[in-house]
Chain A
Amino acid sequence: MYGWIWRQMPGPAWLRAVESAALVLVVVAVLFTWVFPAIAPYLPFNDQTVGEN
């Protein structure tokens, strides 16, 4: 998978390294902004209120 992504990227190796870093940043930003906040309420250690309301 990662090898395939690397081969799809244009430019010489140094440019591909820069592109990879940018790609990683985008993925982390998407995870932190939307994915993790969406799944956090369903995880057992986040169930900390007792059911009174």
Chain B
Amino acid sequence: MAPPEAVAVTEQAQRGSARGRTPTTRRRNTGPGRPASPAARMVGGLGELFITLGVLLGLFVVWQLWWTDVEGTRAAASIVSQFEESLPDSPEVAATPQQGDPPAEVAVGNAQRFGTLLVPDWGPGYKVPIAEGVGRSDVLDVGPVGHYPSTAMPGQVGNFALAGHRQTYGKPFFAIDTLSPGEALIVQTAAAWYVYRVTGTEIVSPDDVGVVAAVPGDPAASPTERMITLTTCHPLWSTAERYVVHGVLDYWVDRADGRPAELVDAGEA
């Protein structure tokens, strides 16, 4: 510990040097620590406001492009597991494909979940819930796949037409442009499994609602085939057009018999 004399000397030295730095003339209104003029304060405040707006816009983009996917994917997974608990059991064995008339599917109320969509081409884990209706807030943003009201139910004669986001809110149809003819689109309901095969794709304008008609492209015709249609936005980062995938029913499977071979094989691989 330093002797008291030394402390006194140090304090004296500090005081002296501090006094030496103190300006003897009146302080000029420049340099750091000066009181800002009202105009300067206003410009500074405006700058902070603009920076804040920029950060808010940036955060909104992060939310829209990333966080809605995080939440949407999580929500879809929990809806699927809830829905599947309500379904009758279906043994995990490949079942005999059925070609006859599938069971009748009852139409459900708006925003009610009645099935799941599985696309083996998009990975064995791809499974999203299907709800009735194509409203944004009650189906597509939370669903995430919606069934166009008044189009056919799964397996029935007509066009089972679905809508889903290409990006954001879980982006269920993000990889839609990878689907090519022959690939399987599988729908699970409480009654059966339906395996559709992609027959073709098209890119149309948003108001071309004929793609979801019972006979796609010919709204006046009466249907004879059991079809499926997926619609989503196109191109990426845009809502200017619609990407449409059509398919036709290949076979169906009784839940009690098992599952489509496509799913059982994918599980083993």
Q: Which residues of A contact B (CB under 8 A)?
A: 1-2, 28, 31-32, 36, 40-41, 45-50, 52-53
B59 to chain A minimum Cβ distance, whole angstroms, is: 6
Q: Of B52, B64, B206, which one neighbours A48 at CB under 8 angstroms?
A: B206
> A29 to nearest B CB, angstroms?
11
- Inter-chain contact A48/B233, CB cutoff 8 Å: yes
Supposing A41-B136, A48-B233 touch, asked if A36 and B209 sit within 8 A by C-beta, the answer is no
- In Å, the complex CA distance between A2 and B233 comes to 41
| Residue B83 at the chain A interface, CB threshold 8 Å | no
Q: When chains A and B are docked, how far (Å) is the Cα of A40 from the Cα of B64?
A: 8
A-B contacts, 10 of them at CB < 8 A, read A1-B49, A1-B52, A28-B59, A31-B56, A31-B63, A32-B59, A36-B60, A41-B136, A48-B239, A53-B149
**B101 interface residue (CB < 8 Å to A):** no
* Interface flag for B153 (CB, 8 Å): no
Which residues from A are CB-within-8-Å of B207? 50
Q: Does B45 contact A (CB under 8 A)?
A: yes
* Contact surface of B with A, Cβ cutoff 8 Å: 45, 48-49, 52, 56, 59-60, 63-64, 67, 134-137, 149, 206-207, 209, 233, 239
Query: Quick check: A2 and B239 within 8 Å, CB to CB?
Result: no
Q: A7 to B48, alpha carbons, bound, how many Å?
A: 16
Q: Bound state CA distance, A36 and B58, in angstroms?
A: 12
* CB closest chain-B residue, reference A40: B64
CB-defined contacts of B206 to chain A, threshold 8 Å: 48, 50
Contacts A1-B48, A2-B48, A50-B209 given: A45-B63 contact, CB under 8 Å?
A: no
Q: In the assembled complex, how far is the CB of residue B147 from the closest CB belonging to chain A, in whole angstroms?
A: 13
Which single member of A31, A40, A47, A50 contacts B59 (CB below 8 Å)? A31
A46 to B134, CA, bound (A): 14
